[in-house]
């Protein structure tokens, strides 16, 4: 898919013949250190700094050491420190749709993931106050959600051993969506059909 193509053009090319959009949303703005994630992120930052300092002290203490190895350790530490910022940036670029056939997620880098509505074994409507709602699709990711909501939102669960249905997810999260109640209602109605 061309990067100059709009999201709407990409979606219309991705939709099946006669497939109709019932609901759509995108990730609404949320703070980096929002409630529930604040201490996880701060703990990750503190742990990364402490672990990096210990590794550098052990590596450089009293013997010859390589500047390239020290630089590699510092680069890895910097990547770990910046990962929550990049994760937020990625989430803010995601868009979501529920059609009469599928739930569809498009990432910031324009990768499409979908779940057939008939294949969604269960879903949860997570109402987060004061933040926006999340729709969690697929029971296989329910246990991850308390610990890894943001990570799982960026990484839909796919069957990596089955390459025949590229983009088909086993579980995915529509993160910080506006009007999540309407999206949940669409899913409930489609499950009854």
The values of phi and psi at residue 53, to 5°, are: -60, -45
CA 124 to chain centre: 16
Tell me the per-residue pLDDT of 117-137, one tens digit each, with 9 for 90 and over: 988 888 989 887 667 889 999
Largest CA distance in the chain: 71
Q: Residue 56 and residue 136: Cα distance in Å, rounded?
A: 41
At 188 the pLDDT is: 86
pLDDT tens track, the chain, 193 positions: 455 568 888 888 888 899 999 999 999 988 888 877 888 899 999 999 999 999 999 888 877 888 899 999 999 999 999 999 999 999 999 999 999 999 999 999 889 999 999 888 889 898 876 678 899 998 888 887 778 888 888 889 887 776 667 788 899 999 999 888 888 988 888 766 5
Q: pTM of the entire structure? A: 0.83
DSSP run (H or E) holding 24 = strand 21-26
Helix then strand count (H, E) for the chain reads: 5, 8
DSSP run (H or E) holding 79 = helix 67-91
At 89 the pLDDT is: 94
**Number of residues that this document lists for the chain:** 193
């Amino acid at each position: 898919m061309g990067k100059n193509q709009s999201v709407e053009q990409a979606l219309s090319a991705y939709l099946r013949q006669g497939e109709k959009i019932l609901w759509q949303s995108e990730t609404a703005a949320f703070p980096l250190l929002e409630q529930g994630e604040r201490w996880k992120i701060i703990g990750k930052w503190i742990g990364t700094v402490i672990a990096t300092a210990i590794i550098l002290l052990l590596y450089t203490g009293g013997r010859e050491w390589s500047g390239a190895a020290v630089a590699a350790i510092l680069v890895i530490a910097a990547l770990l420190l910046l990962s929550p910022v990049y994760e937020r940036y990625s989430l803010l670029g995601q868009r979501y749709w529920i059609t009469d056939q599928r739930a569809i997620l498009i990432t910031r880098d324009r990768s499409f993931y979908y779940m057939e509505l008939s294949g969604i074994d269960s879903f949860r409507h997570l109402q987060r106050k004061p933040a926006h709602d999340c729709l969690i699709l697929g029971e296989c990711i329910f246990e991850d959600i308390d610990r890894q909501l943001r990570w799982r939102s960026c990484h839909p669960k796919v069957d990596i051993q089955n390459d025949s249905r590229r983009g088909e997810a086993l579980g995915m999260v529509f993160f910080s969506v506006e009007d999540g109640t309407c999206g949940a209602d669409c899913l409930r109605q489609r499950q009854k059909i």
